[in-house]
Amino acid sequence: MALIAVIVVAVTIGKPLSYLNCAALSKEGGNTDAWVSSVGYNMGKVDYYVWAGADSTTCYETKAIWGLSIALCLLFAFSSIVSVCLWKRQKMAASMARKSIEG
């Protein structure tokens, strides 16, 4: 359930963030015109420009956090799969030990 929630959040936040053009922003900040025009109509009702700021460094940091949340989803899914496999292996080993004791 937690994996599904993290995936939904990463996809919901990631759609508008993928359209951001961080290179169009100024390096020292303060020039929001280029940034707002790069986002344009893709923002909808959520104001992501408040999160990304008006400079390219903050925009790249926001995209990096989004990328790390995707990596977190992948690692969480991998650890879930591995834990299920280990649980089945342990269960199988316990049943084999009972059979050898009974036989």
What SS3 class is residue 7? helix
pLDDT (tens digit per residue) in 30-49 = 555 655 565 554 455 555 55
Please give the residue range of the domain that contains residue 88: 2-102
Average the pLDDT over 52-72 and give the result.
80
25 and 55 in contact (C-beta within 8 Å)?
yes
Report how far residue 28's alpha carbon sits from residue 34's, in angstroms, rounded to the nearest whole number. Answer: 13
Does residue 29 sit in helix, strand or coil?
Answer: coil
Residues 8-25 have a mean pLDDT of 78
CA distances from 54 to 19, 20, 21, 42 (A): 15, 12, 11, 17
Percentage, residues of the chain above pLDDT 70: 67
* Structural contact between residues 89 and 81, judged by C-beta atoms closer than 8 angstroms: no
Number of separate domains in the chain: 1
DSSP tag of 23: G
